[in-house]
């Protein structure tokens, strides 16, 4: 995939990643404090959901960028495959 992210999208992505980073740090602290397994897993699931949404945002922004620079059908297909399958 190419790097066709607009400044606003980049800022939004960085903000999402910063929040996810905070969630992961929180999980580490929870584990160090001996918190209940269920609580730790709940936070990990939330962090994973945050990463998943961020990945979809990046792909969506790239697809938008592709339409602006008239990329090939192959590039569209690749982006959609990643979006749908996570690969």
Residue 78 lies in a domain: yes
Residue 21 lies in a domain: yes
Residue 62 lies in a domain: yes
Q: What is the CATH number of the domain that holds 26?
A: 1.20.58.1000
Mean pLDDT computed over 28-52? 95
Instruction: Work out how many domains the chain is built from and give that number.
Output: 1
Average pLDDT score, the chain: 82
* Residues 48-58 pLDDT 10s: 999 999 988 88
Structural domain of residue 41, as residue ranges? Answer: 7-85
Please indicate whether residue 16 or residue 71 has the higher confidence score (pLDDT).
16
Q: Which residue has the tokens 């960028």?
A: 65
pTM score, whole prediction: 0.68
Residue 2 lies in a domain: no
**DSSP secondary structure string for all residues of 16-52:** HHHHHHHHHHHHHHHHHTT--HHHHHHHHHHHHHHHH
Lowest mean pLDDT among 26-30, 54-58, 70-74: 70-74
pLDDT score at 67: 64
pLDDT score at 87: 53
Residue 72 lies in a domain: yes
């Amino acid at each position: 995939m190419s790097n066709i992210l607009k400044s606003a999208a980049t800022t939004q992505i960085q903000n999402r990643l910063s929040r996810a980073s905070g969630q992961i740090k929180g999980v580490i602290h929870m584990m160090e404090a001996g918190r209940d397994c269920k609580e730790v897993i709940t936070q990990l699931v939330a962090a994973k959901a945050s990463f998943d949404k961020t990945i979809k945002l990046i792909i969506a922004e790239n697809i938008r960028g592709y339409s602006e620079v008239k990329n090939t059908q192959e590039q569209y297909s690749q982006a959609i495959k990643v979006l749908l399958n996570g690969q």
